[in-house]
Amino acid sequence: MLSARFKPWHVALFLGKYAWLTARRRPVLVHFEVTLRCNAGCSFCDYWKTDASARASELKSFADAARFFNPMLVTFTGGEPLLRRDLESIVAEVDRAIALKYVTLITHGGMLTADRAESLWNAGVHQFNISLDYLDERHDLARGIPGLGAKIMAAIPAMRARGIDNIRFNTVIKNDNLDQIVPIVLRARELGVGVNFSVYTDAKNGNRDYLLSGEPERELADVVRQLLDIKRRRRGVITNSDYYLEQIPRYVGGEMREPCRSGIRTIHIDPTGRHSTAGVTVTRAARWERRGGSGAVGPARGTAGAQTL
């Protein structure tokens, strides 16, 4: 589900760049974590505990890293990236640094207005991913932001009215929101947006309260069957592959023994320029580190929180 900004012939260009990056063992995806600060208060994440003084050490530009790695996919994340008042400048510089790319912004949506979204869209963002785990008051409580759910639901039509045509919900499947999974898909369809699912893990801060096990496991299998049925009847709303959805019960049940390969072609750059790597990208990343990595070296703080199978 690409934005209308892209034409059919762009698909061939992206496939060509993917093949080129793969042949040279270079990263396909670079995550730019532009801040660790966050104004939410999620119990499954500690980013909101980051002191405001961390702002002083945040890079003003990620263009050098973008130019060096030249990825196909770019994600701006945090923390809450919209806390950066200079985010448009950061996005625009990365946009100019890479000729062919697809750019995503991940946000909790609490600061996302149609005006801000349009300015980021014009700066170079191609897709907005908004976190949404519940349709009722539980979402506000989980994020610690009163009125957040209503704000998200109001912002999306306003964004689409401005011509922003690629918006997705990022929904984490947890033990207390299985009743919300299908309704979120139906709401997304009504709003003309997509949904991307991931499975909760305790990797961010060790909080095991939302892990799926026991009775929720059995309910989960039924929810996955419903998602696959919806996806087969109407493609384009649920953006996960059929394979991913089919493997969720196996993963939760501890049956998966295959290694996770989601990070093999990924580089993560934290707010100070430090990186984390996996697999085949390590050689390229080491060269970036030897160059100074925008003045910072060493491993980045991990950002795992939702399992990508």
Q: How far apart are CA 174 and CA 180, in angstroms?
A: 10
Q: What are phi and psi of 290, to 5 degrees?
A: -65, -30
Cβ contacts of 309 within 8 Å, gap of 6 or more = 199, 244, 247, 248, 251, 256, 260, 262
Helical spans, DSSP H, in 113-256:
114-123, 138-143, 148-161, 181-191, 215-233, 242-252
**Which percentage of the chain shows pLDDT scores above 90?**
70
Quick check: 104 and 59 in contact, CB under 8 A? no
Count Cβ atoms below 10 Å from residue 282 Cβ, excluding itself. 15
Which range among 6-15, 215-224, 297-306 has the greatest average pLDDT? 6-15
Give residue 286's pLDDT band: very low, low, confident or very high (50, 70, 90).
low
- pLDDT (tens digit, 9 = 90+) per residue, 143-202? 999 999 999 999 999 999 999 999 999 999 999 999 999 999 999 999 999 999 999 988
Domain chopping of the chain, boundaries: 29-298
- pLDDT (tens digit, 9 = 90+) per residue, 3-25? 778 889 999 999 999 999 999 98
Select from 152, 150, 148, 104 the least CA-distant residue to 124: 104
Select from 142, 140, 144 the least CA-distant residue to 175: 142
Give the architecture-level CATH label for domain 29-298.
Answer: Alpha-Beta Barrel (3.20)
pTM greater than 0.95? no
Two structure tokens written together for 256: 């998966």
Q: How far apart are CA 177 and CA 216, in angstroms?
A: 10
Cβ neighbourhood burial of 178 (10 Å; 0-12, 13-18, 19+): middle
